Amino acid sequence: MNGFGPVIVKALGEFVRVIKERGVTTLLVEQNSTFSSAFSDREYLLEKGAICWYGSCEGLKGKPEVMK
């Protein structure tokens, strides 16, 4: 989240965490996978508008070649 200041990023993260704790399903579109994986159960990676990988956050951590 390079476009927002650290205070805003922190506030957004706290807001998304509260929503998740309440059991609300959300769709978060974010380029920073480190940020988004903190709130995600599943991740989908897009390349040129098409899904090129999907799975659990833990599964993605074991695939550095996908992150290239």
Q: What is the pLDDT of residue 17?
A: 92
The number of domains in the chain is 1
Q: Which residues contact 28 (CB under 8 A, 6 or more apart)?
A: 16, 36, 39, 40
Q: What is the pLDDT of residue 1?
A: 44
The pTM of the full predicted model, rounded to 2 decimals, is: 0.67
Report if residue 62 sits inside a domain. Answer: yes
Domain of residue 10, residue span:
6-67
Q: What is the pLDDT of residues 45-65, one digit of tens each?
A: 888 999 988 988 777 777 777
Token pair belonging to 33: 């996978």
Q: What is the pLDDT of residues 1-44, one digit of tens each?
A: 457 788 998 999 999 999 999 999 999 898 888 888 888 888 89
Report if residue 31 sits inside a domain. Answer: yes
Report if residue 10 sits inside a domain. Answer: yes
Report if residue 1 sits inside a domain. Answer: no
